[in-house]
């Protein structure tokens, strides 16, 4: 597919192009234009016009257009899933799952379009004020820049674009240079569903070029970003006075309590799925597992038994469970981190081999010291570290010993323990008797510490993407 930018509804091509390749075998999937500062400027200008045009649409119109977009996407599920598999390298099963979630995210946003509400303000509750009545409303910001990562190009873009449109904002999307083709198709679908072409723009290219120009543009009122902590920090330094929503990385932790012997197989299975889905390239992948010492060896045995049954290979095949990581550079880094963990005293419990340029066996490491990168940083690959602890308190301390705080999980029968864990663990979401990888698209989702700022989930994203306007009448004048 020859990709293009979408600026004010027009397809824009450039001489200089970037190749998009299939992570499994490096074959060519398509190309995208290498956009520059001027393209970002033109897209923002178009979006300013788009914002004006959106004002002509009532909340009901926006609801209808989003509903229609969800239906169109649902009808074209297979086509979108196949492209996702080629761009991201995720298995066809995972790709179908992502399309289903994207349909849901758009539908949820459609519903929220009718509920962008304010409330009455009691002006006369201040001393000496009489006869003043009024309210506040939530109004759209204007042009929102949406910068998205490679791992869920469809659903994570929907998490930004659908709530933005629901609230009446126009958007300029800058997708990952690895996975832009899916996003271009999504933008066209939104326009086909009824949004003004100027309201949904896509610029493609490198983050440091066209992405940076979008971030620095003063007419952009908000940047909603999902990606790595490093990029998030750069964006907030350069973007100046605007709003920011930051959905960043993590090294999610989970604790398995001593009273979980009966459920150990099921927990091991959940942990393996949480750690190896999308070859571990999920921001809430299970990365650090802390198991009570009484169950440690049994848990490792069950986890490895399940892990070794996972089929690794060509993600286009229906029977494959784990596909490649995004590129050779990522695979090199992950293998280096595994080697470092072993050199610092950790052991490979299962896996650990590289099966191809971008294929890594699902790997379980044990007894890895905290300073190892596979513990202290975000692996973003198919690696789970299992360490033993002697108490809930030790598990909480270990989970909190991280710069990140997106989600954490605990498996326990103790209500008191679960409450203590949910109060003391510093994360945006706590899953009790569930892995930290659990997410449904309507829940408030986002991190604390270096995992981010703000919450997504259409209702909550709309709060971030609107501002309050206060209106006061003097009824006695
Ligand atoms: P990345 O930070 O490398 O890139 C993300 C996007 O930012 C891309 O579109 C890139 O082109 C753009 N970009 C890069 N430099 C930029 C700059 N200077 N200015 C503007 N834009 C710039 O991330 P990635 O490798 O695509 O994705 C993986 C990361 O995303 C992981 O850290 C993962 O945890 C995180 N992530 C977080 C969530 C969440 O919801 N918290 C979800 C998915 C992924």
pLDDT tens, residue by residue, 195-236:
999 999 999 999 999 999 999 999 999 999 999 999 999 999
The count of other CB atoms within 10 Å of the CB of residue 24 is: 20
Q: How far is the CA of 294 from the centre of ligand 1 (A)?
A: 39
- Please give the order of strands across the beta sheet that includes 407-411: 347-350, 363-366, 383-389, 288-292, 253-256, 407-411, 429-432
Query: Which positions ≥6 away from 75 have C-beta within 8 Å?
Result: none
Query: Which positions ≥6 away from 127 have C-beta within 8 Å?
Result: none
Which pLDDT tens digit goes with each residue over 379-420?
Answer: 999 999 999 999 999 999 999 999 999 999 999 999 999 999
Q: Where are the domains of the chain?
A: 5-249+450-472, 253-440
Classify strands 407-411 and 253-256 as parallel, antiparallel or unpaired. Answer: parallel
pLDDT of residue 386: 98
pLDDT of residue 30: 98
Which pLDDT tens digit goes with each residue over 159-205?
Answer: 999 999 999 999 999 999 999 999 999 999 999 999 999 999 999 99
pLDDT of residue 430: 98
Place 279 in a pLDDT band, splitting at 50, 70 and 90.
Answer: very high
Q: What would the CATH number be for the domain defined by 253-440? A: 3.40.309.10
In the 8-state DSSP scheme, what is residue 367? S
Q: Is 198 a catalytic residue?
A: no
pLDDT of residue 356: 96
> For 399, what's the count of Cα atoms within 13 Å in the CB-facing half-sphere?
31
pLDDT of residue 7: 98
pLDDT (average), residues 235-250: 98
> CA 170 → CA 8, 164, 190, distances in Å?
11, 7, 12
| Radius of gyration for the chain, computed over Cα atoms and rounded to the nearest angstrom | 23
Q: Is 146 a catalytic residue?
A: no
pLDDT of residue 285: 98
Q: How far is the CA of 196 from the centre of ligand 1 (A)?
A: 28
pLDDT of residue 72: 98
User: Which of 226, 231, 187 is closest to 46 using CA atoms?
Assistant: 187
Among candidate residues 283, 304, 350, 427, the one labeled active-site is 283
Please report how the helices 180-192 and 77-88 are oriented relative to each other, as an axis angle in degrees rounded to 10.
160
> Any idea what the Cα angle at residue 246 is, between residues 243 and 249, rounded to 5°?
170
Q: How far is the CA of 228 from the centre of ligand 1 (A)?
A: 5
pLDDT (average), residues 64-71: 98
Residue of 35, 146, 149 with the most ligand 1 atoms within 8 Å of its CB, for mutation: 149
pLDDT of residue 46: 99
Q: Locate the ligand 1 atom nearest the alpha carbon of residue 451 and give its number.
A: 41
Q: Locate the ligand 1 atom nearest the alpha carbon of residue 452 and give its number.
A: 41
Q: Locate the ligand 1 atom nearest the alpha carbon of residue 152 and give its number.
A: 43
Q: Locate the ligand 1 atom nearest the alpha carbon of residue 406 and give its number.
A: 41
Q: How far is the CA of 326 from the centre of ligand 1 (A)?
A: 13
Question: Which stretches within 76-228 are classed as H helix?
Answer: 77-88, 92-112, 155-166, 180-192, 212-216
Place 68 in a pLDDT band, splitting at 50, 70 and 90.
Answer: very high
Residue of 33, 160, 231 with the most ligand 1 atoms within 8 Å of its CB, for mutation: 231
Place 124 in a pLDDT band, splitting at 50, 70 and 90.
Answer: very high
Pocket of ligand 1 (CB under 6 A): 147-152, 156, 174-177, 207-208, 211-212, 215, 226-228, 231, 234-235, 247-249, 283, 378, 380, 406, 452
CATH top class, domain 5-249+450-472: alpha beta
Closest Cα to atom 42 of ligand 1: 283
% of residues, the chain, pLDDT over 90: 100
pLDDT of residue 435: 98
8 A C-beta contact, residue 262 and residue 225? no
Q: Locate the ligand 1 atom nearest the alpha carbon of residue 232 and give its number.
A: 2
* Cα dihedral 212, 213, 217, 223 sign: negative
Q: How far is the CA of 249 from the centre of ligand 1 (A)?
A: 9
């Amino acid at each position: 597919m020859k990709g293009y930018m979408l600026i004010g509804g027009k397809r824009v091509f450039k001489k200089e192009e970037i190749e998009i390749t299939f992570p499994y075998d490096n074959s060519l999937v398509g190309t995208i234009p290498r956009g520059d500062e001027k393209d970002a400027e033109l897209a923002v200008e178009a979006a300013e016009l788009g914002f004006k045009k959106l004002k002509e649409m009532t909340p009901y119109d926006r609801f209808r257009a989003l509903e229609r977009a969800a239906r169109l996407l649902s009808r074209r599920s297979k086509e979108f899933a196949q492209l996702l598999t080629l761009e991201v390298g995720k298995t066809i099963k995972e790709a179908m799952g992502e399309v289903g979630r994207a349909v849901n995210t758009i539908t949820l946003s459609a519903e929220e379009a009718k509920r962008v509400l304010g409330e009455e303000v009691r002006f006369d509750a201040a001393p000496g004020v009489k006869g003043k009545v009024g309210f506040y409303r939530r109004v759209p910001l204007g042009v929102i820049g949406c910068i998205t990562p490679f791992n869920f190009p469809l659903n994570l873009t929907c998490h930004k674009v659908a709530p933005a449109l629901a609230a009446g904002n126009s958007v300029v999307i800058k997708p990952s240079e690895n996975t832009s083709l899916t996003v271009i198709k999504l933008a066209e679908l939104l326009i086909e569903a009824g949004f003004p072409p100027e309201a949904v723009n896509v610029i493609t290219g490198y983050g440091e070029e066209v992405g940076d120009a979008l971030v620095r543009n003063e007419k952009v009122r908000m940047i909603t970003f999902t990606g790595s902590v490093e990029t998030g920090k750069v964006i907030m330094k350069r973007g100046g006075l605007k709003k920011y929503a930051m959905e960043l990385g993590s090294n999610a932790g989970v604790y398995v309590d001593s009273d979980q012997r009966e459920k150990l197989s099921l927990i091991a299975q959940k942990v393996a799925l949480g750690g190896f889905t999308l070859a571990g390239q999920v921001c809430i992948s299970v990365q650090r597992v802390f198991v009570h010492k009484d169950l440690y060896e049994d848990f490792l045995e069950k986890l490895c038994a399940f892990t070794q049954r996972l089929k690794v290979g060509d993600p286009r095949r229906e029977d494959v469970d784990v596909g490649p990581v995004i590129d050779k550079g990522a695979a090199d880094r992950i293998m280096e981190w595994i080697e470092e963990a072993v050199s610092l005293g950790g052991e490979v419990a299962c896996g650990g081999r590289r099966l191809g340029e971008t294929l890594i066996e699902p790997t379980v490491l044990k007894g890895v010291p905290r300073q190892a990168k596979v513990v202290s940083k975000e692996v973003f690959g198919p690696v789970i570290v299992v360490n033993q602890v002697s108490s809930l308190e030790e598990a909480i301390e270990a989970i909190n010993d991280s710069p990140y705080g997106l989600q954490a999980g605990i498996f326990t029968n103790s209500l008191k323990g679960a409450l203590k864990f949910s109060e003391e663990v510093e994360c945006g979401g706590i899953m009790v008797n569930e892995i930290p990888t659990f997410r449904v698209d309507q829940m408030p989702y986002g991190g604390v510490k270096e995992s981010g700022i703000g919450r997504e989930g259409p209702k909550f994203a709309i709060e971030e993407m609107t501002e309050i306007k206060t209106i006061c009448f003097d009824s006695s004048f």
